[in-house]
Amino acid sequence: MTVPTAGRRERKKAATRQNIADTALRLFLERGYDEVGIRDVAAEADVAVTTVFSHFTSKEALVFSQDENFEHGLARAVTARPPNEPLIPALRREIHAMVRHCTAESAAPLWRMIDSSPALRQYEESMHLRHAEALAAAIAADLALPAPTTACRTLARFTVDAYALAREADDPAAAVDEIFHMIEAAWTTTAAARP
Amino acid sequence: MTVPTAGRRERKKAATRQNIADTALRLFLERGYDEVGIRDVAAEADVAVTTVFSHFTSKEALVFSQDENFEHGLARAVTARPPNEPLIPALRREIHAMVRHCTAESAAPLWRMIDSSPALRQYEESMHLRHAEALAAAIAADLALPAPTTACRTLARFTVDAYALAREADDPAAAVDEIFHMIEAAWTTTAAARP
DNA sequence: ACCGTAACACTAACGGTTAGCTTAAAAAAT
DNA sequence: ATTTTTTAAGCTAACCGTTAGTGTTACGGT
């Protein structure tokens, strides 16, 4: 076993959380996000309303429960990349993977739901900004800077922009390449790009 | 008179709206955004709660009622710029003006309030995205394109990023210049930049 | 075996938001 | 000038996401 007996309590907690998330996502996809209330989710998952909010900070968070795993994926793409690989290509690879992942056939209904709900779109945007801040910190660390500079923060935001823009483009993969071509040009003109 | 007698009804409506916005902003700054409810605002402005929501789509919109004027300021910076002036410098000028405007001494308490409220920050972000979409359309029109391309949308987003990033920087004006140096490099590498 | 604590339940409420209906004043039509 | 139509604004009552307060149960370390 790779997992060192995570304790029954933690396993039960994880199971409850998973049950809630699965139930919520199923109901949302069946009836539509706005047509399903938190009380419906709680009843169907056979838990109390307060239990839902002890596992998820908001209704929208129920939809993005899986993507929280990728929360630090971008930062890890910087810190854990092959040695000697330049920064920008590493970021481009990661964005490519993320775009491919969320434009997959199986995820289509989910993203259609997200795109049609202003509340969910807004939640996703603010997630992206959090990711950008984490990424800026990782980039600064990679350059051995004491704190993120304006250039680091800018690169981070441009990178998450690439994800958001490519997702909406007709040809997502081509869009990633096109936008990263622009990012590369922007980055190479900064002093931070040269050691 | 330059105003062609806007009709008593419309004048009263505008007055009511202004009254609500002024009262709300005053209460928010006096007691704090979270400590003031919509019912408080309505009572103090001497209107019904439903009247507040017939003028403003949400509580957060009460805070940004003035900035709605600048909603299309960015797009106008493109469409109404001096002839023969290149695109990027025109955008940089506008962002400079916007940053100067919202980092002014008189606006400090307002922005402190906004920065300390997650709800208001999120609302501002989604405003920015709306602005970016409008700007992308204006850029495409300026280039005589039938529809916004990926490059247009990218430039638009980078531009609103410049605003957001510069606002938080130690030296906002310098940050605008630094980021626009990067944007210029990104834009000149795209095919769209050359006629 | 014991106790501390973490997970969950229940009730009730708070605050933003909306629906449905009524009133009254302004604008348009007669 | 009177009638008719429009529309801003009001009131009530609720919906829905979210939180506070308070128990209760069952796991985990000692």
Do B52 and B105 belong to one domain?
no
Q: CA nearest B122 in A: which residue? A: A126
Give me the percent of chain B exceeding a pLDDT of 70. Answer: 94
Q: What is the CA radius of gyration of chain B?
A: 19
B90–chain A Cβ distance below 8 A for any pair: no
Do A177 and A128 belong to one domain?
yes
How many angstroms separate the CA of B54 from the C1' of D4?
26
pLDDT in tens, A21-49: 999 999 999 999 999 999 999 999 999 99
Do A42 and A116 belong to one domain?
no
- Of the candidates A57, A75, A101, which is a domain's last residue? A57
A3 band by pLDDT with thresholds 50, 70 and 90: very low
The verdict on residue A62 lying in a domain is no
A129–chain B Cβ distance below 8 A for any pair: yes
The verdict on residue A43 lying in a domain is yes
Cα–Cα distance for residue pair B172/B164, rounded to 1 Å: 10
Task: Verify whether the Cβ–Cβ distance A187 to B188 is below 8 Å.
Answer: no
Do B10 and B79 belong to one domain?
no
Q: What is the mean pLDDT of residues B80-87?
A: 93
Query: What is the overall mean pLDDT for chain A?
Result: 92
Q: Is the pLDDT of residue B180 over 50?
A: yes
Do B97 and B181 belong to one domain?
yes
The verdict on residue B97 lying in a domain is yes
Cα–Cα distance for residue pair A88/A85, rounded to 1 Å: 9
B173–chain A Cβ distance below 8 A for any pair: no
All residues of chain A having their beta carbon less than 8 Å from the beta carbon of residue B190 are: 178, 181-182
Do A76 and A32 belong to one domain?
no
All residues of chain B having their beta carbon less than 8 Å from the beta carbon of residue A129 are: 125
Q: What is the mean pLDDT of residues B53-64?
A: 97
The contacts of residue A18 (CB under 8 Å, 6+ apart) are none
The verdict on residue A14 lying in a domain is yes
Alpha helices in chain B (DSSP H): 8-31, 38-45, 49-55, 59-63, 73-79, 87-102, 108-115, 118-142, 150-168, 172-188
Domain residue limits at A87: 67-193
CATH of the domain at B77: 1.10.357
The verdict on residue B62 lying in a domain is no
A48 CB below 7 A from strand C atoms:
yes
Q: What is the pLDDT of residue A5?
A: 60
Q: What is the pLDDT of residue A175?
A: 98
CB atoms within 10 A of CB B114: 20
Task: Verify whether the Cβ–Cβ distance A189 to B181 is below 8 Å.
Answer: yes
A178–chain B Cβ distance below 8 A for any pair: yes
CA of A5: nearest nucleotide by C1' is: D28
CATH of the domain at A9: 1.10.10.60
Q: CA nearest A118 in B: which residue? A: B126
Task: Verify whether the Cβ–Cβ distance B190 to A182 is below 8 Å.
Answer: yes
Ramachandran angles phi, psi of B46, nearest 5°:
60, 45
Q: How many domains does chain B have?
A: 2
Q: What is the mean pLDDT of residues B119-139?
A: 95
Q: Is the pLDDT of residue B1 over 60?
A: no
pLDDT in tens, A56-110: 999 999 999 887 767 678 999 999 999 889 999 999 999 999 999 999 999 999 9
Do B143 and B180 belong to one domain?
yes
The verdict on residue B165 lying in a domain is yes
Q: What is the mean pLDDT of residues A138-162?
A: 97
Give me the residue label for tokens 């109390």: A48
How many angstroms separate the CA of A24 from the C1' of C13?
25
Do A35 and A103 belong to one domain?
no
pLDDT in tens, B40-57: 999 999 999 999 999 999
pLDDT in tens, B105-114: 999 999 999 9
The verdict on residue A179 lying in a domain is yes
Report the residue from B154, B165, B190 with minimal CB separation from A153: B165
Do B40 and B133 belong to one domain?
no
Spatial contact of B157 and B132, defined as CB atoms under 8 Å apart: yes
Cα–Cα distance for residue pair A29/A42, rounded to 1 Å: 16
Q: What is the pLDDT of residue A191?
A: 72
Do B99 and B152 belong to one domain?
yes
Report the residue from B122, B129, B150 with minimal CB separation from A175: B150
For residue A92, give the amino acid letter: R
Q: What is the pLDDT of residue A2?
A: 39
Q: What is the mean pLDDT of residues A133-161?
A: 96
- Of the candidates A36, A57, A78, which is a domain's last residue? A57
Task: Verify whether the Cβ–Cβ distance A188 to B185 is below 8 Å.
Answer: yes
A29–chain B Cβ distance below 8 A for any pair: no
Task: Verify whether the Cβ–Cβ distance B157 to A165 is below 8 Å.
Answer: yes
Q: Nearest residue to D16 (CA, C1')?
A: A37
Query: What is the overall mean pLDDT for chain B?
Result: 93
pLDDT in tens, B8-20: 888 999 999 999 9
Q: What is the pLDDT of residue B2?
A: 39
Task: Verify whether the Cβ–Cβ distance B189 to A182 is below 8 Å.
Answer: yes
Do A110 and A189 belong to one domain?
yes
Residues 7-26 of B with CB under 7 A from strand D: 9, 12-13, 16-17
Q: What is the mean pLDDT of residues A4-26?
A: 87
Do A112 and A184 belong to one domain?
yes
The verdict on residue B180 lying in a domain is yes
